[in-house]
A and B are shown apart, each in its own frame.
Chain A
Amino acid sequence: MTQNDAGGSTPALRTDRLGRRYGREWGLRDCTLEVPAGVIAGLVGPNGAGKTTLLEMIIGLLQPTEGQLSVFGETSHAPMAARLARVGYVAQDHPLYRDFSVADMFHLGRAMNPSWDQQLALARMDALDIPLKRKVKSLSGGQRAQVSLTMALAKRAPLLVLDEPVSSLDPVARLEFMREVMAAAAGTGLTVIIASHVVSELERLCDWLIVLTGGQVQLAGPADDLIAAHRLLTVPRATPDAELPGLPIHRTDSDRHSTVLVRADPVRPAAQQRPGWQADPVGFEQLVMAYLQRPPKSAAHNDNAQAAARPGPSTKAVTR
């Protein structure tokens, strides 16, 4: 599904040094990203990392303090309705009107969205066995999540943005929700950006990865390329960082050995590897966790090194 990333087509999302300040604190800063159309992008970060800030700027609920943002070429200066039409949004905790019935919610969707697909909405409720007459407040958490997802899908927007859609759900409901997202995206060209701190849920779903900590982008690009560009090294404990083949991202020291996640670096090729060192491929979750544990300041420190290390167009989204 990443066939579009090198082509000239308009990216689903492009941000350039995007930032949002709350009072004195920056919720998100210097965020430069590109998400091509058609991918399912996982946005990972701890609570307070700026995920919701980024997503709310994408949908237009927040205005950037600085920088640029465009969704399928529509900038944040375009008329509100034009921007809103391009994004379907499932907010955290799936807000719905409690005293509305499911049918009322769809009536609202139809009244407020010119491109509303009522047939899709009804078919989904039928398939999920959610009665239309049921009031929202008497639905289960999983059903509410499904109604929210259905509202966002029936809007027929080319970009679907999901903010922590499963964090409030039980494991079965999580699985069902993710399955529905995947089914909806399959073969339709829909672009999905899904924010979560449940990394394991994203692994099966996402072909694009963005790691955000402390309001800054740590890692972004096609998931497979990112995994391929990293190695897990086991080296003697005393080995200094400078001797490692690649950029050390995260290091765990035990009694005799150190386990270091390194990023491939053309300046320091893997040929430097010495006998007795062990290099293993890294898993999705390991990779994400390593970047999540990296303090945001070290990202700023490594600015130039990272910029030089960009292996190709796929990681041009890596920010300072």
Chain B
Amino acid sequence: MIWVSWRQHRSQAIACLGLLAALAVYAILLGTSMRTAFGQDGLITCLARSHGTGCPAAIQAFTNRFGSEVNVAFWSVLLILPGLIGVLVGGPLIARELEYGTWRLAWSQTVSRARWLTVKLSLVTGGLVVLGAAMTALIMWYRAPMDRLTGRFLPNIYDFEGLVLTAYILSAFGFAVLAGLLLRRSIPAMVAAFIPWLAIRLVVEFLLRPHFQAPLTFRQVCPRNGFCNAGYGLGFLPPVTGHIGDWVLGQGANPNTYLYQPADRFWTFQFIEAGIFVALTAAALGATIWLLHRRAA
């Protein structure tokens, strides 16, 4: 069964390796020049001296040069990429067998279809975990200098570091496998899985993530003249809290107060969000195994 699964998913595995190689080239080129510039711009000293509050101009120059953290186009590509990988691998997994009639061949050998599916799912899921982890490692490595200036809580950073990237891929995969069994066609299954995946992904990012834990309140101390020349948002680096990596969500109830998630909650948030998507994956794959088992066994 292991050989069979490998033989059937060989070309997908090669395509994923190609993707990974392209990402590696991009990451190594960008990461190397970023590291060079980081040293030259005196940012290391600035960070050491004032946590970045003393040199906003230099930080801005660096982030502008290496792709702003609010680069919507880049963010959009990375937003849909995990979903695309997941549905492209998951959609055909069962649907292709149903489309081409090969299910009659696959399930009439001396292997129960529950075992057939379990082995296949385990191996492909394992492959996707390796792919997700490798992509995450590359992204985290090349972005390391940038992360020292921006922290890791901003959406286009948070979404690709830590655990969530892998969990996004897995959930899209799980949805697509289930959709493939229900719709019996690869392409419709991919579409039918991608749309809810993207919806859930955006809902979690914009509605749930800011509230995984109750935000803290920061009170800004204004100068004597009473004029607080501060704002918040993605463009403000370092953030108004003065601590790189804090995620400022918005203004609080009182004047000059801000709600924020402190930087040290990064991993807690990653675990919570990855947990949500892994649970969705498990639910989709569990439903698939149950349905396939019930269909005839």
Contacts and interface: CB of A to CB of B under 8 A. Distances in A.
Interface of A: 56, 59-63, 79-81, 84-85, 87, 89, 91-93, 95-100, 104, 107-109, 111-115, 148, 151, 155
A63 B100 CA distance: 22
Among A80, A92, A108, A115, max chain B CB count under 10 A is at: A80
A84 B296 contact: no
Contacts of A98: 100
A116 to B, nearest CB: 9
Contacts, number: 79
List the 9 shortest-distance A-B pairs measured between CB atoms, nearest first. A80-B112, A91-B104, A112-B109, A95-B101, A89-B108, A95-B102, A113-B110, A85-B110, A95-B105
Contacts of B114: 80
A306 B120 CA distance: 51
A112 B297 contact: no
Interface in B278-297: 295-297
Nearest to B111: A112
A95 B102 CA distance: 5
Contacts of A97: 8, 102, 105
Given A80-B114, A80-B297, A100-B7, A109 B108 contact: no
A111 B8 CA distance: 13
Nearest to B293: A80
B1 A115 contact: no
B4 A111 contact: yes
10 contacts: A80-B297, A81-B111, A81-B112, A92-B101, A95-B100, A95-B103, A97-B8, A97-B105, A107-B7, A148-B105
Interface residues of B, number: 25
Given A95-B101, A108-B7, A63 B297 contact: yes
A61 B107 contact: yes
Given A63-B297, A104-B7, A111-B3, A93 B101 contact: yes
A63 B1 CA distance: 24
A109 B296 contact: no
> Do most interface residues of chain A lie in helix, strand or loop, or is the interface mixed?
loop
A97 to B, nearest CB: 6
B7 A112 contact: no
A59 B110 contact: no
Nearest to B2: A111
Contacts of A93: 101
B110 A114 contact: yes
B104 A84 contact: no
B113 interface: yes
Interface in B194-219: none
B102 A115 contact: no
Interface of B is mostly: helix
Contacts of B7: 100, 104, 107-108
A115 B104 contact: no
Nearest to A113: B110
Contact of B3 (A61, A89, A91, A107): A107
B112 A109 contact: no
B84 to A, nearest CB: 22
Contacts of A148: 105
B108 A84 contact: yes
A89 B104 CA distance: 8
A155 B296 contact: no
Given A80-B113, A84-B112, A107-B7, A112 B102 contact: no
Given A61-B296, A111-B4, A84 B101 contact: no
Given A61-B104, A81-B110, A112-B4, 16 more contacts: A56-B104, A59-B108, A60-B297, A63-B295, A63-B296, A80-B297, A84-B109, A85-B110, A96-B105, A98-B100, A108-B7, A111-B2, A113-B110, A114-B110, A115-B110, A155-B109
A114 to B, nearest CB: 6
Contacts of B11: 99
A182 B296 CA distance: 31
B1 to A, nearest CB: 6
Contacts of A87: 108
From B1, B295, B296, residue with most partner A Cβ within 10 Å: B296
A91 B102 CA distance: 9
Interface string B1-36: 111100110010000000000000000000000000
Interface in B51-69: none
Contacts of B100: 95, 98
Contact of B296 (A60, A104, A108, A113): A60
Contacts of B105: 91, 95-97, 148, 151
A276 B256 CA distance: 116
B165 to A, nearest CB: 30
Contact of B108 (A91, A96, A104): A91
